[in-house]
Amino acid sequence: MDLKDIQNLIKFVAKSGANEVKLEMEDIKITIKTGSEKTETTIVQQAPMGMPQMPMGTPVAQAPVETSKPVEDSTKEDTSKYIEITSPIIGTFYRKPSPDKPVFVEVGDIVSEDSIVCIVEAMKLFNEIESEVSGKIVKVLVEDGTPVEFGQPIFLVEPV
């Protein structure tokens, strides 16, 4: 894996919204951790048996992560009165049961407890995610078809 491949991987992880990605190949281990302001990359070159592993330099450790701070700041102020529906598992977020079907919920829809709001696919299994609260969907926080983490907010709900 060359430097250009690693930089492309960092950009992909930053855009995906994942917090941490670990990649292990035969002779190399890569860990990419993203935060709100920077991306940190650790690259470890595997040594022959009996030799200690030494981290390589991290020339791409400060790769820029595209964030829109003004939008995040204004969202944080407004979200205090809303309840978050979070992903109970790691997987891929889908708003529709299938590509030719309508979305489960739209902004403005009223949901009750146990209403299905989306699907998260994990290991080829499609898990229906139910709302744990009753209220009105105010915002969809995740784009359709993107990865989600355990506990990641996916919807904002205004309690009714």
Distance, in Å, from the CA atom of 131 to the CA atom of 138, rounded to the nearest integer, reads 13
Given CATH 1.10.760.10, say whether it is the number of domain 69-159: no
Task: Find out whether 133 and 156 touch, Cβ atoms under 8 Å.
Answer: no
**Residue 140 pLDDT more than 90?**
yes
Largest Cα–Cα separation, the chain: 62
Q: For tokens 């991290």, what's the residue?
A: 58
- pLDDT tier for residue 26 given thresholds of 50, 70 and 90: confident
Q: Is 11 exposed, middle or buried (0-12, 13-18, 19+ CB in 10 A)?
A: middle
pLDDT tens across 64-116, in order? 444 444 444 444 545 678 999 999 999 999 999 988 999 999 999 999 998 99
What are residue 88's phi and psi, to 5 degrees? -80, -10
pTM above 0.75, yes or no: no
pLDDT tens across 141-159, in order? 999 999 999 999 999 999 9
Domain residues of the chain, as ranges? 3-55, 69-159
User: Which amino acid, one-letter code, is at 133?
Assistant: V
